């Protein structure tokens, strides 16, 4: 039963990843850069980061855009690895999809969250969702100065960093999978300007 339960969770994540890829590739003037669904090992993360940086450099993107996209991808993958919840088999079912569009890039990430932690995640996102860059920067600096470390070793800076580098509002959603797990989805648009 545990194996089937875990398969259902992985299938749910894979279906969401496939849906994002399909919807994005239907849009005009877009290019799907990367799609990875599954448990993100340290080796997979390193490969993704190398691939993204190399691809953007080969495409002749400006250094400041490469840095913004790279930072958002690093922070997103760290959030998945550090804060993602394991399924019943100890796997962190997750995905990352990166696409190029006119005016920048879109990055979608998804990871499992325990149902009891969804309220806390929503609260953290609600605090920064509608803030401008200046207000986010102020919170970021305040967190650096006075923030206390969480039980997982962070000071809550990941989402703030993503919001600062994206130059856009964060879009997010939660899809309940079962009585224990929810799929947390984050969509980040990184503007070329």
Question: For the residues 91-119, what does the mean pLDDT come to?
Answer: 92
**In the chain, alpha helices (H):** 2-25, 42-58, 63-83, 118-129, 133-146, 158-166
| Domain that residue 66 falls in | 2-191
Mean pLDDT score of the chain: 87
Cβ atoms 95, 109 nearer than 8 A: yes
17-37, pLDDT tens digit by residue?
A: 999 999 999 999 999 999 999
Distance CA 92, CA 102 (A): 32
- Residue 52 pLDDT exceeds 80: yes
CATH number at residue 47: 3.30.565.10
Question: For the residues 119-144, what does the mean pLDDT come to?
Answer: 85
H or E segment and range at residue 147: none
Q: Report the candidate in 135, 133, 134 with the shortest Cα–Cα distance to residue 167.
A: 133
- The torsion defined by the Cα of 48, 60, 159 and 134, in degrees rounded to 10, comes to 170
Residue-wise burial string across 12-38, b where 16 or more C-beta atoms lie within 10 A, e elsewhere: bbeebbeebbeebeeeeeeeebbbbbe
Q: What is the number of domains present in the chain?
A: 1
Q: What is the pLDDT of residue 1?
A: 43
């Amino acid at each position: 039963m545990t194996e089937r339960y875990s398969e259902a969770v992985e299938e749910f994540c894979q279906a969401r990843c496939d849906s994002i890829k399909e919807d994005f590739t239907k849009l005009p003037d877009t290019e799907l850069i990367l799609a990875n669904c599954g448990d993100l090992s340290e080796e997979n993360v390193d490969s993704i980061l190398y691939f993204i940086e190399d691809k953007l450099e080969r495409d002749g993107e400006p250094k400041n855009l490469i840095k913004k996209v790279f930072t958002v991808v690093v922070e997103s993958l760290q959030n998945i690895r550090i804060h993602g919840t394991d399924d019943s088999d100890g796997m962190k079912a997750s995905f990352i999809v990166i696409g190029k569009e006119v005016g920048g890039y879109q990055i979608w990430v998804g990871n499992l969250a325990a149902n009891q932690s969804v309220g806390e995640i929503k609260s953290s996102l609600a605090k920064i969702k509608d803030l401008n860059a200046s207000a986010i920067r102020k919170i970021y600096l305040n967190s650096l100065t006075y923030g206390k470390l969480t039980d997982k070793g962070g000071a809550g800076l990941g989402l703030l960093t993503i919001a600062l580098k994206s130059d856009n509002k964060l879009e997010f959603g939660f899809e309940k999978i079962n009585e224990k797990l929810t799929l947390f989805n984050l969509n980040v648009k990184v503007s070329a300007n």
